[in-house]
Each structure stands twice: as structure tokens, then as C-alpha cells.
């Protein structure tokens, strides 16, 4: 299996408590990976370290054939990896301006950025919200805008923190559909979720975070467990 990036020896303590001590985490390329773990197990912390937002005590990274320290790799990973918060933050601007934000930072001119944003809005079926204030959108709409804003930058890896938490069934379906499209486009995705059922349909791999370390769980583990239970019931 090809790996997009490999993290080794991720160690971080917060307020004197050891949060993560991950021996090795290899991110499968062009695949969707489900990351599970109890509340407070360090999923968000892990994502922030992986995306270059939080400096760990130690971590080495193997990326694009190079062995780098976290500090050396920070610039590359911030460029190629996008992290989305559990409740994505949208800037106090229109949906269009939010989606264009990263394009402008990448040096895109206004005409090109506008064209790309229009295409991205159509892709996500968000054209009707283009000029709405981002702060006034519903939770599901915000999540879709945030996914579109990330996708437009063509990231190599998307880290999604509980993307379907506190959503109604329709919003979950729409978000799940976008995730499937992102995966089909070849973007590697790691999704942390309590609601494994929603994500398992898309996930190819399953990692579990326990006592600060990653345990590789068999793919579709929940489904398998449920099937076994059903058989036992019969």
C-alpha cells in the first residue's frame, strides 16, 4: 500500500499530562481512513500536529522521500494538508469570499479565483448561497462551505474532525456525499468520528486511538462486529 506521509514518534503532553505517544502513523494514499477514539483521547490534538498547527514535543516525518523533523516539514504539511475543525470556522464574510480566501493566499488573481469559486459552488451545490453571509448559515451548510473551501486548494490530505457531529439526517447525507466525491477525486482523507456508521460507508481503513497510541483496526470493523452479532442472535 502506498503511503502519502508517515509520522513517527509523535509525543505531546499538555499541562503535564501525556496526551499522545504515537509510535507510527502512516497515512494511506488516496484513501479514506476513519479515526475513532474516546472523548479526550487526543484525536483533535493529533490532527493539529499532523496539519502543522500544533508543535509536538517530538515527531519525525517521512514525506516525499525525505526524512524531516516536524519543524522542517511544517511548511510542506501546511501547504498540502488542511484541517477542518469539528465546527468549521467561517470568516465574517460572504460564502464566495470564504471559499476564495485560500486562493488569494496562494497568489491567485481575482478573475481566476472567481471562476474557480463559481465552479466549486456548483460542485458542492451551494450556488444559491454564494452571496449569503457565512455566519448566517446552518451547521450543515457551514460544513459544506468549509469542505468546498478546502477542496478548492487541491490538498493532498484532508483531516476532518467529527464532520457530521450534531447534524440532522439530511445534512449528514449531503456531507457524506461530498466526502465520497472528495475521495473519488483522489484526495486522502482522515475522518475522526463517533458516528462510525455514517463514515464507514466511505472509509477504507480504520485507526483507533487508545491510551495515546494508534491501533490499526480492521476495515469496516463495526459492520463486521454487527454482522457477527446478528449471526449469534440467529
Partner 1 sequence: MNDLSQASASAFHLLLSGNSEIWEIISLSFGVSFSAILIATPFALLIAFVLAFFKFPFRRALISLFNTFMSVPAVIIGLSLYLILSRSGPLGDLRLLFTSKAMIIGQIMLSFPLLVAMAHASFQAADRRAWETAITLGARPFRALFTLMYEVRFGLIAAVVAGFGRVVAEIGCSMMVGGNILHSTRNIPTAIALETSKGEFAQGIALGMVLLVLSLGLNAGVSIFQGKGDLHT
**Min dist. Cβ of residue 113 to partner 1 (A):** 13
E-assigned strand segments in the chain:
3-14, 17-28, 32-37, 58-63, 66-69, 81-84, 157-161, 188-192, 205-210, 213-217
Looking at beta carbons only, is 105 or 128 nearer to partner 1? 105
**Min dist. Cβ of residue 221 to partner 1 (A):** 29
Within a 10 A sphere around the Cβ of 159, how many other Cβ atoms? 27
**Min dist. Cβ of residue 1 to partner 1 (A):** 26
Looking at beta carbons only, is 9 or 139 nearer to partner 1? 139
**Min dist. Cβ of residue 43 to partner 1 (A):** 15
Dihedral sign, Cα of residue 170, residue 172, residue 174, residue 180: negative
**Min dist. Cβ of residue 27 to partner 1 (A):** 16
Contact set with partner 1 (CB under 8 A): 48, 51-53, 78-79, 81-83, 85, 87-89, 91-92, 101-102, 105-106, 135-136, 149-150, 153
Looking at beta carbons only, is 86 or 222 nearer to partner 1? 86
Question: What are φ and ψ of residue 135, in 5° steps?
Answer: -70, -15
Pairing of strands 17-28, 32-37: unpaired
Q: Cα–chain-centroid distance for residue 101?
A: 18
Looking at beta carbons only, is 24 or 104 nearer to partner 1? 104
Cβ atoms of 209 and 41 within 8 Å: the answer is: yes
Question: What are φ and ψ of residue 42, in 5° steps?
Answer: 110, 15
Looking at beta carbons only, is 139 or 222 nearer to partner 1? 139
Set of cell numbers at residue 129? 448561497
Amino acid at each position: 500500500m502506498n503511503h502519502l506521509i508517515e509520522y513517527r514518534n509523535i509525543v505531546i503532553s499538555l499541562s503535564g499530562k501525556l496526551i499522545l505517544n504515537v509510535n507510527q502513523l502512516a497515512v494511506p494514499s488516496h484513501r479514506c481512513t476513519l479515526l475513532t477514539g474516546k472523548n479526550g483521547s487526543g484525536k483533535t490534538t493529533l490532527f493539529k500536529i499532523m496539519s502543522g498547527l500544533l508543535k509536538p514535543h517530538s515527531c519525525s516525518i517521512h514525506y516525499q522521500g525525505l526524512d524531516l523533523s516536524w519543524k522542517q516539514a511544517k511548511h510542506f504539511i501546511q501547504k498540502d494538508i488542511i484541517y477542518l475543525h469539528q465546527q468549521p470556522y467561517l470568516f465574517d464574510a460572504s460564502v464566495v469570499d470564504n471559499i476564495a480566501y485560500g486562493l488569494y493566499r496562494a497568489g491567485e488573481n481575482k478573475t481566476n479565483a472567481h471562476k474557480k469559486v463559481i465552479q466549486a459552488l456548483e460542485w458542492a451545490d451551494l450556488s444559491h448561497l454564494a452571496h449569503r453571509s457565512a455566519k448566517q448559515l446552518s451547521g450543515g451548510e457551514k460544513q459544506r462551505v468549509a469542505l468546498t473551501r478546502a477542496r478548492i486548494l487541491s490538498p493532498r490530505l484532508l483531516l476532518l474532525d467529527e464532520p457530521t457531529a450534531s447534524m440532522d439526517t439530511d445534512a449528514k447525507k449531503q456531507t457524506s456525499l461530498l466526502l465520497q466525491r472528495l475521495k473519488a477525486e483522489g484526495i486522502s482523507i482522515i475522518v475522526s468520528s463517533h458516528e462510525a456508521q455514517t463514515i464507514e460507508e466511505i472509509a477504507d481503513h480504520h485507526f483507533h486511538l487508545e491510551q495515546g497510541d494508534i491501533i490499526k483496526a480492521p476495515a469496516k470493523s463495526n459492520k463486521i462486529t454487527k454482522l457477527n452479532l446478528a449471526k449469534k442472535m440467529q
